[in-house]
Amino acid sequence: MNFFESQDRVRKNTFRLVLLFTLAVVTLIIMTNLLVMVVFGYIDSQQVQDGGELLLQMDWQTFAVISIAVGTVVLVGSFYKIMTLSAGGKAVAESLGGQLIPQDTNDLKQRKLLNVVQEMAIASGTPAPPVYLLTGEQGINAFAAGFTPRDAVIGVTQGTIDHLSRDQLQGVIAHEFSHIFNGDMRLNIRLMGILNGILIIGLIGYYMLYSASFSGRGRSSGKGAGGILALAIGLMVLGFAGTFFGGLIKAAVSRQREYLADASAVQFTRNPDGIAGALKRIGGLEFGSKIENPGAPEVSHAFFAQGISGFMSSLSATHPPLAKRIKAIDPHWDGKFDTEDKTDRQPKQQDKKQADKKAGMSREELANKMTTILAGAAIADVANAIDQIGNPSQETISHARTLIAEMPAVVATAASEPYGARALIYSMVLDKGQDVRGQQLQYLQEKADPDVFVLTQKFIPELENLKIEHRLPLMDMAIPALKQLSANQYKIFRANLIALIKMDDKVDLMEWSLQKILFNHLDAQFFKLTRIKARYSKLKQLKKETSMVLSVLAHAGNKNDTDVKNAFNAAAKTLDFGGLELLARNEINLANMDRALKKLAMLKPLVKPQFLKACVASIAHDQKISPVEVELLRTFSDVLDCPMPPVKI
Q: Which residues are identified as catalytic?
A: 176
One-letter identity of residue 461: P
Q: How far is CA 303 from CA 133, 218, 297, 308, 309, in A?
A: 14, 42, 10, 10, 13
- CB atoms near residue 383 (< 10 Å): 11
- CB atoms near residue 263 (< 10 Å): 17
Q: For residues 151-189, b (16+ Cβ closer than 10 Å) or e, as one string?
A: bbbbbbbbbbbebbbbbbbbbbbbbbbbbbbbbbbbbbb
Q: What is the largest CA-CA distance in the chain?
A: 97
Cα-based torsion angle of the residue sequence 229, 232, 237, 240 in order, rounded to the nearest 10 degrees: -150
Strands (E), 125-175: 131-134, 142-145, 153-157
How far is 244 from 100, CA to CA, in rounded Å? 33
Q: How far is CA 456 from CA 421, 424, 428, 500, in A?
A: 10, 6, 9, 13
Nearest alpha carbon to residue 647 among 424, 480, 471: 471
**CB-CB contact of 174 with 120 (8 Å):** yes
One-letter identity of residue 204: I
How far is 578 from 572, CA to CA, in rounded Å? 7
Crossing angle of helices 363-378 and 349-359, rounded to 10°: 60
Query: DSSP 3-state assignment of 53?
Result: coil
DSSP conformation letters of 178-200: HHHHTTHHHHHHHHHHHHHHHHH
Query: DSSP 3-state assignment of 466?
Result: coil
How far is 387 from 392, CA to CA, in rounded Å? 8
How far is 311 from 243, CA to CA, in rounded Å? 13
Nearest alpha carbon to residue 161 among 234, 110, 205, 235: 110
